[in-house]
Every structure is written in structure tokens, then in C-alpha cells.
Structure 1
Amino acid sequence: MKTDSTHHSSRRQPGAALRLEGLTRRYEQAAVVDNLDLAIAPGEFVTLLGASGSGKTTTLMMVAGFTEPSQGRVLINDQDITHLPPAKRDLGVVFQHYTLFPHLSVADNLAFPLEMRGVARRDIKQKVADALALIQLDDKGHRLPRELSGGQQQRVALARALIFSPAALLMDEPLGALDKKLREHMQLEIKRLHVASGSTVVFVTHDQEEALTLSDRIAVMQQGLIAQIDTPHDLYTKPKNRWVAEFIGQSNFIDGQVSAIQQQGYDVRLSSGETVCGKGVAHLGVGQSVLAVLRPEHIRIGLPGDSSAHLPISATIAEMLYLGHTLKLTLVLSDGATLLAQLQNSALEGTLRPGASVRIGWATESLWFIPAEAQR
């Protein structure tokens, strides 16, 4: 599947352009990564998102030079680096485990990659001071890694990977070992460092929220291929198939059939009998079986006395899950179908309970149609 970068950024872009062409890795006869094409623009933050075994880490390791491709090429600024050793690729790499030298101070850890590149001592001192300021650890340069918190150690690891201004920064699950609160804090740190440095970043994670938070574009990987690559917004609102819609967030799927093609989208007759309209993937045909994708937060809920023009469908609350800031509801429709709804905790909370009858509806633009057969 060929994918090209269309993202443009206004920030300064010292990072390199990165291109993967037909990248493949086989173990015996099985292809872990299968003829993968990907173009990343200078300064762009692209995340490889997928479940275990999808090929995302293997792809990153081939870019880094730690895994040899079975076929295909890796290019940085149009230079073929496929067979260069890792040390010759000018890439910064950050792993889940911090890999700091335990016997060296923070400042010496930061200085190490510069010393290996023969940078003058005076320049090293200035670059280390700048790096410590960038990660807001100006007063911690003399400390050993074990004297820092987990989040501080990971910031040092990030700074060490950035300090020599690499062509690109590769990160493999760098926040996987941190607790939820620290992980969310470090996401903001990574975003801030990316904007400040303008580096090209390839980030690997299985955490969809992390990918949506950080990325300019997300490549969702499935069985060694890119199932879809898009901006976070388009990936969430315009999935190409059921697999992507299920992997990114939660979705309701309603069976239907295209009854008409309009200038702005499709008319679809649902299996329950209603005709609804909305947008969808290109080239759906009249009579084609489709699924209407409806995100839980797009379902509007009201009590039976509310305006039925905007809330035309009757439903019964089967289950309620209280999550503090939100409520999750399982709704049963008259034909027995179930929908998952999510709403902000509000004045409705006290009136909603399992067994209660409600009216539901959604805005036309909330529906997105995909082919029913598009399931790999």
C-alpha cells in the first residue's frame, strides 16, 4: 500500500525526510512486515500503532539498523541507508527502558554521544547545558540516573537521543514502563520537545490515546501492513474499514444497504427499516451492503418527553457504567439491537437508570459508512 505524506507544519524543520520502500521482513516463510511503503516529511511526527505482532517494532528496528530487511529500502533525505550499521545512520533511538549509563552523571550521559562524534569540549558543555534546560533539569546534571524519578530518567534518555541533532528520532514504546499519570505528563513533554526541536519522529506504541495525542499522522498496522494512515482526526472520524474503526476508539456498527447516492454522501436503509443519510468511504454503490459507524459520544439522549424530531428512536437502558466525568450506557432498541452510548456527566445523570425508557438520535454528520465486507 503506497502512502505519501501530505502533512505540512509551520514549525522549523531541521529533521530529515524518511522513506520506506517495499520494506519486508520474513522469518522462514512468514512475513512479519510485508512490502511496506511509507513517506515521512521533515519534522513530522508519525506513529506506528498496532497490536502485538502487527509488525510495528520490526519496522522500527529495520529503520534503526538493528534488523536486516529481507527486501526493500530505507532512505533518509533520498540516501539509501538500508545496509549501513546503526552507528552510521545518524538516528536517535529511545527504548522503553532508559538505557542510561548508571555510573555516569546525567551531564556525562548527555555528553557521551557528542564525545563519540568528536565534538569539541567547549561545544559539548554548551550543548549539555542547553539539553538540560530543554528538559527542565538544569539543576540535576551532577546526579546519577538512580537519583532521578522514572519520568526524569526518561527525559534524560530523550535529551540524549536529541542532543546530536539526529536526522530522525525513533522511539519504541518509550512510556510503557511508566504509570498512567506520569505517562500522560511525559506525553506532553514529548510533544513539547518535538515542537522545540523540530525533529522527524517515528514513534511506536500500542496505546491508541497516546497515538492520538502525539501524532501528526498515525499508521495503523495490521499483519505487517499499514491498514490506514491519516491524521488523528481523520483516522477517528473516517475509518476505512471495520478493523480500523474497532481498533481506534469504540464504535457502534449498524447494518444497512445503500439506497441512493447524493452529492454530499449516501442514503442508507438500515436493517431496522429507517433510512438515514451520512458520508462514507468513496465508491460505495447502490444496493451495496454497508455498516454505519456511530461513535458512542455522538449519540444524543433525552427522556421520553423530549422533542422526538431530534430524538426519533426509542430505546431502553440495559446497563450503566459510572466513570466520574462520563457515563457509559448500553441501550437496547425496539428490534433488539444494542448500542453503546457515552455522555458527559450532567443533569441527566439523576434521571437515568437501568430499565428507563429514553429517546435517542444523532446528527447526520455523525454517521460514517464503510463496506460491510471490508474486514480482513
Structure 2
Amino acid sequence: MKKLFVALAFIFASFRAWAEIRYIEIESVSNTAIVRLKRLEDLEFLIGKNNISVAFFQKSSGDLLITASGTYFSIFLNGYRTIDDYKKGTSAGFKNGSDFSDAEKHGITSSELYYFFTSNRFSTVADCSDARKNGFPSSNQYYAAKEKGFSKYSDYSEYLKYTELGYKTKEDWKKAEKKGFSYASYFYDAQAKGFSTNADYQKAKSYNLMDESSFKKFCEIEDSIERIISAKTIDKRQAFVFYFLVQLPKGESAISVLSKSLKNLYDENSSDVKNALSKYVNNSYYGPTSLFDQDSLRSFFASVKTSELGSYSSKTEIFKRNGNKPNYPATKKASNGKSGMRNNDENKADAK
């Protein structure tokens, strides 16, 4: 028990002596043998054992020196002026004593915050701390974001992203992405022309149908033709003729009259729709109306069954339309081809 008391008394005395060390800055040490220590623990041991109360700090070399039993001992403290500062600074991650001292002057205890502060141009430490807390990588971006009203870097970087792409608002950007648009110019042009999706907008561009009524009409015809193709397993040109046969009223027509009637039905469409249909059926050289010529119709009736629409006699060349209008089921392709023009409800929702 007595030995334990003595040991504790020695430790207390050592700590007391070390804690009350006075540090004196010196210019240099000359003509003196110096023992250089590698470990701080060894220096602390010598201080405690010899009740040392004075240590010398050499600024030019960054060394701390003590004298014990007539011998000089030194250790490199990398610019720290005291042992306490060295321990605090190194454990906090400061590169050297000079940085640690400068951080203390600014009221900074975190090395990460200090080096962020010194590598940027913040007006105040408070701004630096706020920027770091909210994820800003630099003072320039922090102050630029503040001017725009952003307090978080995530919001500001998102703002930069959609404005660089040409979008006016975040809502427009998100809406455009959802609707498949990659370019802001396409999105706003589509909005102005009434297209709600990029697929419809690009489709309208490819057929040069940039007004609402023409695009809707074309999509209706295309959808019907695609349904006919799927239901009857015929090619696109045959389905094109079949579609216009469906539009005929009930009655009998000789092939010459039938040819004219089909052409008249086709001509009821606008020139834009007709041009689009010509491209759609890939018959632009002769024009789709060539499919309604008498010879083309004879070939059509010889290869396509039209019993659900009426009957055709190859002898009399008369087509009897029964008035039925078959409703063929939608196909995936036909469904995708439906017009995506914006309706009034969509426009009202966007205006809110």
C-alpha cells in the first residue's frame, strides 16, 4: 500500500511539474552537445523525473529543448510551441504548429474546417462553416448560390444542371424527363404546339405534322390501320385500302365508281395528313391514291377477304357495302401510336 502511495505521489508531482512548464523562445543553441529524442513520451519522462519547469523553443528549427543533469535534450515539434499544443494539434489533424496557431486566432478547432477556410476566400469563418455544413465545395459556389437564394449545395447543383440544359424551372426539367425529352428546346416547342410526350413530338416532326388537328387525324388513321394489319394479317398498303373501304356508306358501287369514292374520301384530309399518310404507307412516288386505281383494287379484292364489309364480284366488278364497321382490337404498336396531344385539363393543371 505504501509503494502504491509513493508511485501515485510521483506521478502527481511529475504531472504538476510538466503542467507548469514555462516555454522560453530562443534564437539558437551553440557549442553544446544535444541529445535528439524521437518520442515525445521520452521527453515527458525526463521532464517528470527531473522536475523540469523550463523548456526552450527554437523557432527557426521547430525544436523544443530541456536540460537534465547537465545534458540538453531536444525533440522536433514541427512548429508547435508547447507540448499541449502539439498533442492537441496533431490529434486534430493539423499539418504543423503554425497552422494550429493560426486556426486558434480564427477560433477554429477543426483542421478540416481550417484548411477549407484557408484554401478558399470566405468573408468570415461563419460563412465557411455554413458552406461546409451544407456541402459546398468552394467559396465561389457558396456565394453564387446565396445570390440565387440557395442555402444547400445539392439544390444549387441541381439548379445549375437544369439551367445549363436550358430549362427555366426545376418543375419543367422534371416534367421533361418524365415525358422523355432530352433537350429543353424540344420540350418548350412541344409544349407550345400541344405535345405532351417526346415520342409524339418526334413522331409529329418526322411526319411534318406540327399542328394539333392534323396530328390527331393522322394518329387516328394510323391506329385503325395498325389494328387492321394485326387482325387480318395483311400488309400496310392492303390495310390502307381496307381502312377507306370501312369509311364507305352502305350501297353498291361499280369498280370505277368505287375508285373515285375512295379517292374522294382520301382527299377529305388536309394536305399535311395526306403527305404523312403517303410517307406512312411508303408510297410517296405514286401517291397513296394509286392504291385506289381500278387495277390495284382488282388485285386487292383477289387477295384480301372483305366479307365483314360486304361482297365483291369479280365478274360484275361490283362491291356491295353492307354498312358494318368492324371494331378491331388495339395492338401494342397501335396503342403507342395514339396521339399524345395535350388536352385542356393538362393545360389547366400546368398553369396552376
Normalized against structure 2, the TM-score is what?
Answer: 0.23
Name the structure with the higher helix share. 2
Structure with greater Cα Rg: 2
Name the structure with the higher strand share. 1
Which structure is higher in RCO with an 8 Å CA cutoff and minimum separation 6?
Answer: 1
